[in-house]
Amino acid sequence: MTNWKASARWKQQIIVVLTIMLATASLVVLAPAPRVGAATYNPLKAIQYADQWWNKRNPKFQSYGFNDCANYVSQCLIAGGLSLLASPSADKNGSIAQCTSLDAFLTNTLKATVWKKSPGSLAPTGLQPGDVAIFGNWLGLRHAVFVSAKQTNGQPLFNAHTYDRLRTTIGWLFSGWTYVKYYHIVKSLVTVAAAPKPATPAKTAVVAQPAVTTRSSASATIPDPQSKPVESVSLVTTTVPSSVTSTSAVLNGIIKPDGQPALWFFEYGVSETYDEATDKQGPLLGNLTYNVDFAVLRLKPSTTYHARLVRVAPDGSLMAGLDTTFRTRETPRTVTQED
């Protein structure tokens, strides 16, 4: 009888232990992973932090001495509202100290737009203050910097740790590195809905040179607001380009300011990395719906292009419309007449 009671007790203990283990495992499985996305990112706050701590070390974070560049950039992103805890390389304070790990987070987790450039290449005009750049050589990615401002020619200025820098140009960085990767953090739309009805383009289109050339001297006009609301999935909608020729096109979209002043611009290029960007336009005001358009020149004939409209909020945060594509026409054949 005693042996039977002991055996029953032993079985009950095993059942209790297994129940606790299963409950713990279910909590681990069901616990939501940290939500990561650019929707929470405020570039203005990140820039303010970058300027405050460019030559100091924040005691709330671990310092990595002579290798503090990625840690500093991580802190700027955190100050801007991003959580880096989804990275397995994040330290106890949520910062990433390795350039390769920061690259993986920005590329794979945050889904930033990424450009890779060689020395002498101009930075893409789609790069904005609040974005990131990481320089590398044959050893890999080695030095991370934070885009803190832009020059009048559209090229970026950087803040950095390790070699503490404030609003420095790109030139000195290529003295030790052979390429650079730029990361553009954009609040992109993820909701897929029925395509909106194409809006009638505004009467006046703005002519813009490609972003790698000098700034267009053409004056911008704010299109007239629509008297009737246009069907749109969000505050920003990219619509079908119009007036497409072999070397030009008019990019179209719809903006809802939602009661706040809104600037806007188009990104475009031969892929979804959007190597070109138009100048910012606006602001648009009120709660009306606006059709906006921008004419771009010097496109390649018989080439498929990607484009999207981007809205700039007063706090500097960006919201992009869905990607759209168009194909330029073939080059017209020259007709020769024989006598």
Mean of the pLDDT values across residues 58-72?
Answer: 93
Mean of the pLDDT values across residues 14-31?
Answer: 51
- Quote the pLDDT of residue 31: 37
- Quote the pLDDT of residue 28: 36
Residue 26 lies in a domain: no
- Quote the pLDDT of residue 311: 86
- Quote the pLDDT of residue 148: 92
What is the distance between the alpha carbons of residues 254 and 161, in angstroms, rounded to a whole number? 41
Print the domain residue range for 165: 38-185
- Quote the pLDDT of residue 172: 62
Of residues 35, 39, 45, the one with CA closest to residue 186: 39
- Quote the pLDDT of residue 198: 37
Q: Could you tell me which residues are beta bridge partners of residue 242?
A: 250
Residues 159 and 226 in one domain: no
What is the distance between the alpha carbons of residues 91 and 145, in angstroms, rounded to a whole number? 19
274 class by beta-carbon count within 10 Å (0-12 exposed, 13-18 middle, 19+ buried) = buried
What is the distance between the alpha carbons of residues 250 and 260, in angstroms, rounded to a whole number? 26
> Amino acid identity of 300?
K
Of residues 35, 40, 73, the one with CA closest to residue 317: 40
Number of domains, the chain: 2
Strands laid side by side in the 179-184 sheet: 113-117, 179-184, 132-137, 140-150, 156-160, 165-168
Of residues 53, 309, 280, the one with CA closest to residue 189: 309
Read off the pLDDT of residues 249-298 as tens digits, 9 standing for 90 and up. Answer: 999 999 988 888 888 889 898 887 777 888 888 888 877 888 999 988 88
Residues 245 and 298 in one domain: yes
Residue percentage of the chain with pLDDT more than 70: 70
Residue 190 lies in a domain: no
Query: Residues 66-70: contacts with CB within 8 Å, 24+ apart?
Result: 66/162, 67/97, 67/162, 68/97, 68/161, 68/162, 69/99, 69/143, 69/144, 69/145, 69/160, 69/161, 69/162, 70/96, 70/97, 70/98, 70/99, 70/101, 70/102, 70/134, 70/144
Sign of CA dihedral 272, 273, 278, 282: positive
Residue 274 DSSP SS3: coil
Higher model confidence: residue 14 or residue 105? 105
Read off the pLDDT of residues 103-135 as tens digits, 9 standing for 90 and up. Answer: 999 999 988 889 998 877 888 878 889 999 999
Residue 194 lies in a domain: no
pLDDT at residue 207 tops 80: no
What is the distance between the alpha carbons of residues 151 and 169, in angstroms, rounded to a whole number? 9
> Amino acid identity of 160?
A
What is the distance between the alpha carbons of residues 276 and 113, in angstroms, rounded to a whole number? 12
Residues 246 and 162 in one domain: no
Of residues 109, 161, 278, the one with CA closest to residue 208: 278
Domain boundary among 121, 153, 185: 185
Of residues 232, 276, 234, the one with CA closest to residue 251: 276
Q: What is the CATH number of the domain that holds 257?
A: 2.60.40.10
- Quote the pLDDT of residue 150: 85
How many other CB atoms sit within 10 Å of the CB of residue 46?
28
Residue 135 lies in a domain: yes
- Quote the pLDDT of residue 191: 29
What is the distance between the alpha carbons of residues 93 and 59, in angstroms, rounded to a whole number? 11
Is residue 106 within 8 Å of residue 112, measured between CB atoms? yes
Q: Give the predicted TM-score (pTM) of the model.
A: 0.54
Residues 161 and 58 in one domain: yes
Mean of the pLDDT values across residues 85-102?
Answer: 94
141 class by beta-carbon count within 10 Å (0-12 exposed, 13-18 middle, 19+ buried) = buried
Residue 240 lies in a domain: yes
Mean of the pLDDT values across residues 319-337?
Answer: 82
Residues 224 and 292 in one domain: yes
